């Protein structure tokens, strides 16, 4: 079985994507996660380009990785200067990583207009830089920047850049589609030609996603003979992003049968962590690891999946740490409810499924939608089955909203909440930015002493939609709330003609769901 080496550049190339910004502590946590996951190479950054990356490599000298090689990234030496006198290469060595990656120009446009060097000088600095780093005992990866654009412009010169890197002693030659504008068949043709011309060369591929082809371009390069693939988790990166390792890795392992090091049973966990630490809302339709990747809504589809999972799933979601998701809506029938009951570990007979389905349809007439509110649906199922535990009784709430006039117009909100926890009454008040925020704070304040786990809950999304628009401002509204505890996300829903009441229902469900998850086993899904 052929081995493909996975090179992760999330911490450098991924950090250049819009919205990606990590602290030093974030970068250390990501490194440890990727190491535990089993990445072959983790590119940590460019020492010398900014203080944070310099500090990162200083810290990582003490934080030894167990499975992965930490990589320091830099460029070829300056034009007109010897590599052994170049200060940025010295900083690269000061990072004390076993492996270094150097990028160099391979497109004549960049050589002449961007680097402002002669073609011969560019060839010299490529070879000189790699020879110097090899003398210093480093494994050297040469990223041939803009290589495929270079081939289109002047193939002989682009190939000469590869030849100089090989003569310098590079351990890997990585061909970069830096502008992301190449097509799959061209990528493969070039890789195969390089493999034929330079016997025994170890090739890698580095693709960008400007044509939405970075994944297939990477796969085609590997099929053409490349043994290393560079990319980022979730495809983060500049412009349209880098090649998405989250898709590439399971394709390599499960579709093409290649040997790769990462433990793909942790793939969704890793992908979710990167979204979370990046404070980016994950796309639900992301292949393999998205919440909808193995979701089923249509009744015909659900009925087929119940009979044979392969009927509408290309692989088992458990292989990459995901899980099947049955969406309950007016398009689903008893089969969907039965499968949902079975997943939760309950008996899935027709009679029970019909009672639950009838209740769902009744609530949908009122405006409820459980498609994205999995937590509220699970609570509803527990209630119908008589298995919903009662941790506290809600006694009531009040909200005071008052404003000021004049030059400064401000609105102030204060909420009071009264709950009964096993005979102990808690009556608390809290101020908030609005009535819903004040309610949320007051409820948490009342319950946190009894249930400290709810401190972990963060509000990730809050949506309001009118579900009966003919009544104007008196129309019923549906409030959808998405919550997270840093490990899991869940959705809850509330409907009422009063937006505050609808919000309260969704908030209450979110807190109850978290407590049930932490204190009972009744919602632990079967593997």
At 358-392, the pLDDT tens digits run 888 888 888 888 888 889 999 999 999 888 998 99
Burial environment of residue 90 by CB neighbours within 10 A (0 to 12, 13 to 18, 19 or more): middle
Q: Which CATH architecture has domain 392-450?
A: 2-Layer Sandwich (3.30)
Distance CA 337, CA 346 (A): 11
Q: Which CATH architecture has domain 5-278?
A: Alpha-Beta Barrel (3.20)
> So what's the pLDDT on residue 304?
78
Name the nearest CA neighbour of 118 among 153, 79, 75.
Answer: 79
Distance CA 35, CA 8 (A): 10
- Strands of the sheet with 393-403, listed across from one edge: 393-403, 411-421, 424-432
Distance CA 115, CA 108 (A): 10
CB atoms inside a 10 Å sphere around CB 362:
10
| Residue corresponding to tokens 């962590």 | 273
Distance CA 19, CA 283 (A): 14
Q: Please tell me what DSSP assigns to residue 484.
A: E
Q: List phi, psi (to 5°) of 71.
A: -120, 135
Where do the structural domains in the chain lie, given as residue ranges? 5-278, 295-356, 367-373+452-527, 392-450
Instruction: Answer yes or no: CATH 4.10.430 is held by domain 295-356.
Output: yes
Which residue positions in the chain have pLDDT lower than 50?
Answer: 470-473, 526-527
Distance CA 122, CA 112 (A): 9
Record the pTM.
Answer: 0.79
- Which CATH code of 3.30.160.340, 3.40.190.10, 3.40.1190.20, 3.30.110.60 fits the domain covering 367-373+452-527? 3.30.160.340
User: Could you tell me the end-to-end alpha-carbon distance of the chain, in angstroms, rounded to an integer?
Assistant: 29
At 293-348, the pLDDT tens digits run 988 776 677 667 767 778 888 999 999 998 887 777 655 567 778 878 887 888 77
Distance CA 239, CA 146 (A): 15
> So what's the pLDDT on residue 407?
57
> So what's the pLDDT on residue 92?
95
* Mean pLDDT over the full length of the chain: 90
Distance CA 165, CA 175 (A): 12
Same fold, 295-356 and 392-450: no
Q: Which two tokens stand for residue 168?
A: 């310098």
If DSSP codes are grouped into helix, strand and coil, which group holds residue 439? helix
- Strands of the sheet with 489-496, listed across from one edge: 458-466, 477-484, 489-496
Q: Which two tokens stand for residue 452?
A: 């400290």
At 468-517, the pLDDT tens digits run 654 444 578 899 999 988 888 899 999 998 888 999 899 999 999 999 99
Q: What share of the chain is helix, strand, coil (3-state, %, to 5)?
A: 45, 20, 35
């Amino acid at each position: 079985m052929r081995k493909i080496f996975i090179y992760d550049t999330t911490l450098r190339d991924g950090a250049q994507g819009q919205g990606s910004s990590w602290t030093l502590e974030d970068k250390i946590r990501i490194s440890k996660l990727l190491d535990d996951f089993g990445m072959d190479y983790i590119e940590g950054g460019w020492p010398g380009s900014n203080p944070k990356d310099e500090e990162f490599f200083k810290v990582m000298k003490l934080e030894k990785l167990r499975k992965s090689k930490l990589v320091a990234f830099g460029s070829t030496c300056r034009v007109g200067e010897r590599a052994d006198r170049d200060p940025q290469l010295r900083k690269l060595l000061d990072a004390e990583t076993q492996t270094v990656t150097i990028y160099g120009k391979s497109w004549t446009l960049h050589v002449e207009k961007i680097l402002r060097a002669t073609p011969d000088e560019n060839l010299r600095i490529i070879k000189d830089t790699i020879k110097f780093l090899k003398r210093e005992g480093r494994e050297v990866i040469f990223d041939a920047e803009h290589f495929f654009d270079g081939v289109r412009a002047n193939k002989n010169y682009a190939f000469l850049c590869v030849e100089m890197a090989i003569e310098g002693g590079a351990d890997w030659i990585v061909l970069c589609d830096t502008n992301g504008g190449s097509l799959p068949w061209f990528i493969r043709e070039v890789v195969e030609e390089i493999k034929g011309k330079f016997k025994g060369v170890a090739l890698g591929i580095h693709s960008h996603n400007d044509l939405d082809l970075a994944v297939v371009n990477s796969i085609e390069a590997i099929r053409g003979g490349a043994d290393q693939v560079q990319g980022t988790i979730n495809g983060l990166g500049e412009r349209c992003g880098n090649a998405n390792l989250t898709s590439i890795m399971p394709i390599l392992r499960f579709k093409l049968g290649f040997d790769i090091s990462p433990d793909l049973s942790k793939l969704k966990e890793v992908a979710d962590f990167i979204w979370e630490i990046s404070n980016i809302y994950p796309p639900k339709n992301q292949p393999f690891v998205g919440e909808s990747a193995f979701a089923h809504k249509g009744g015909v589809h659900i009925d087929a999946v119940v009979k044979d999972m392969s009927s509408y799933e290309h692989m088992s979601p458990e292989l990459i740490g995901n899980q099947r998701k049955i969406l309950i809506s007016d398009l689903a029938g008893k089969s969907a409810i039965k499968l949902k009951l079975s997943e939760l570990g309950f008996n899935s007979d027709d009679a029970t499924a019909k009672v639950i389905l009838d209740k769902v349809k009744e609530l949908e007439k009122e405006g409820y939608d459980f498609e994205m509110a999995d937590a509220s649906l699970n609570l509803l199922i527990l209630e119908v089955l008589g298995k919903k535990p009662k941790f506290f009784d809600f006694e009531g709430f009040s909200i005071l909203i008052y404003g000021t006039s004049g030059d400064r117009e401000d609105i102030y909100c204060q909420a009071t909440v009264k709950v009964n926890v096993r005979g102990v009454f808690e009556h608390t008040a809290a101020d908030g930015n609005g009535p819903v925020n004040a309610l949320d704070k007051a409820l948490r304040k009342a319950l946190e002493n009894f249930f400290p786990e709810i401190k972990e809950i963060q509000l990730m999304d809050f949506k309001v939609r009118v579900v009966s628009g003919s009544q104007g401002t008196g129309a019923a509204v549906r409030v959808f709330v998405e919550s997270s505890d840093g490990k899991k996300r869940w959705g809850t829903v509330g409907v009422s003609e009063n937006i505050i009441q609808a919000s309260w229902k969704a908030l209450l469900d979110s807190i109850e769901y978290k407590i049930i998850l932490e204190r009972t086993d009744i919602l632990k899904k079967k593997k």
